[in-house]
Amino acid sequence: MPDRDVALKPKTVVKPKVEKPRLYKVLLHNDDYTPREFVTLVLKVVFRMSEETSYRVMMTAHKFGSAVVVVCTRDIAETKVKEAMDLAKDAGMPLLFTAEPEE
């Protein structure tokens, strides 16, 4: 017969610790030379933005000096920055994208 007075020890619940990947911001920086149309083209091609969104992001950088383009993992951020910078370099434009960790 089972002994009902025996207190069972609670089982330890093991919670797996999964670290959240640190997120990175891709920033677009203004300059005085790159045509607005070229900036929006790069945003559309590399970041898959619509005409409207790319224009808005470009104008934000134009007016305020920089704009956040996207927030993503480090790998993706660095790949996107490289793709965008390669297009700019090939076209002889000083356009600058950078990636930095989010606070």
Nearer to ligand TYC, 49 or 95 (CB): 95
**Least distance (Å) from ligand TYC to the CB of residue 31?**
5
Query: How far apart are the C-alpha atoms of 82 and 88, rounded to whole Å?
Result: 10
What pairs with residue 68 in β-bridges?
27
Residues forming contacts to ligand TYC in the complex (CB under 6 A) are 28-32, 34-36, 39, 58, 61-62, 95
Whether residue 71 contacts residue 23, with contact meaning beta carbons closer than 8 Å, is answered with yes
* Beta carbon of residue 79, minimum distance to ligand TYC (angstroms, whole number): 19
Cα-Cα-Cα-Cα dihedral sign, residues 86, 87, 88, 92: positive
29/56 with CB nearer ligand TYC: 29
Alpha helices (runs of H) in the chain, residue ranges in sequence order: 36-47, 51-64, 74-90
Answer whether 99's CB lies under 8 Å from 25's CB.
yes
Min dist. Cβ of residue 52 to ligand TYC (A): 16
Q: How far is the CB of 84 from ligand TYC (least distance, A)?
A: 10
Q: Whose Cβ is closer to ligand TYC: residue 40's or residue 72's?
A: 40
